[in-house]
Amino acid sequence: MKPLVFRVHAIQKMFERNISTEDVHHTIEHGEIIREYLDDKPFPSRLVLAWQGKRPLHVVVADDDKGQTIVITAYEPDPFLWDSDFKRKNKYSP
């Protein structure tokens, strides 16, 4: 696995949402890429889904040109905005 670099925003949100660095590592290593944002700048990013027990987690990451994986944010997806598998936003989502 590439070295992880946590953005300040990611650290703040992880703290607020009770998501550990171990949760993020697990999600990146064992999760499924459910969306890619190829036009993101400065680097294309991707949304990764994994389960921590019964808790779904989404982590947004990007790979930089130095061989590092940048953690942009992490959150527990809102079941009202996502389909039951948390892989697609539902039709009512903005």
- Per-residue pLDDT band for 90 (boundaries 50, 70, 90) equals confident
Residue 31 pLDDT > 80: yes
In the chain, the percentage of residues whose pLDDT exceeds 70 is 95
Q: Where are the chain's structural domains? A: 4-75
- Per-residue pLDDT band for 22 (boundaries 50, 70, 90) equals very high
Instruction: In whole angstroms, give the CA distance from residue 71 to residue 25.
Output: 10
Instruction: In whole angstroms, give the CA distance from residue 60 to residue 52.
Output: 16
Q: Say what the pTM is.
A: 0.91
pLDDT for 33-74, tens place per residue? 999 999 999 999 999 999 999 999 999 999 999 999 999 999
